[in-house]
Amino acid sequence: MAVLVTGGAGYIGSHMVLNLADAGEKVVVLDNLVTGFDWAVDGRATFEAGNAGDIEFVRGLIDKHGITEIVHFAGSIVVPESVTDPLKYYGNNTATSRNLIEAAVRGGVKHFIFSSTAAVYGMTGLAPVIETTPLNPMSPYGRSKLMTEWMLADVAAAHPMTYGVLRYFNVAGADPGQRSGQSTPMATHLIKVACQTALGQREKMDIFGTDYETPDGTCIRDYIHVTDLITAHALLLRHLREGGESTTLNCAYGQGYSVREVVDTVRDVSGVNFRADEGPRRPGDPASITATGEKVRSLLGWVPQHDDLREIVESAYRWERHLMTRNR
Domains annotated for the chain, with CATH where assigned, are: 2-172+224-251 (3.40.50.720), 190-221+254-323 (3.90.25.10)
- The confidence score (pLDDT) of residue 146 equals 98
What lies within 8 Å, CB to CB, of 78 at 6+ separation is: 141, 188
- The confidence score (pLDDT) of residue 40 equals 96
**Low pLDDT (below 70) residues in the chain:** 327-328
Q: 328 to each of 7, 12, 31, 40, 236, how far by Cα in Å?
A: 20, 20, 18, 11, 35
Catalytic position from the list 89, 141, 223, 257? 141
- The confidence score (pLDDT) of residue 201 equals 95
Picking from 150, 3, 143, the residue whose alpha carbon sits closest to that of residue 73 is: 3
Picking from 198, 178, 194, 220, the residue whose alpha carbon sits closest to that of residue 273 is: 198
Global pTM reads: 0.96
- The confidence score (pLDDT) of residue 327 equals 57
- The confidence score (pLDDT) of residue 97 equals 98
- The confidence score (pLDDT) of residue 229 equals 98
- The confidence score (pLDDT) of residue 62 equals 98
pLDDT tens for residues 14-51? 999 999 999 999 999 999 999 999 999 999 999 999 99
Q: Is 141 a catalytic residue?
A: yes
Picking from 254, 258, 170, the residue whose alpha carbon sits closest to that of residue 212 is: 258
Q: Where are the beta strands (DSSP E) in 211-283?
A: 220-221, 223-225, 247-251, 257-258, 276-279
- The confidence score (pLDDT) of residue 207 equals 98
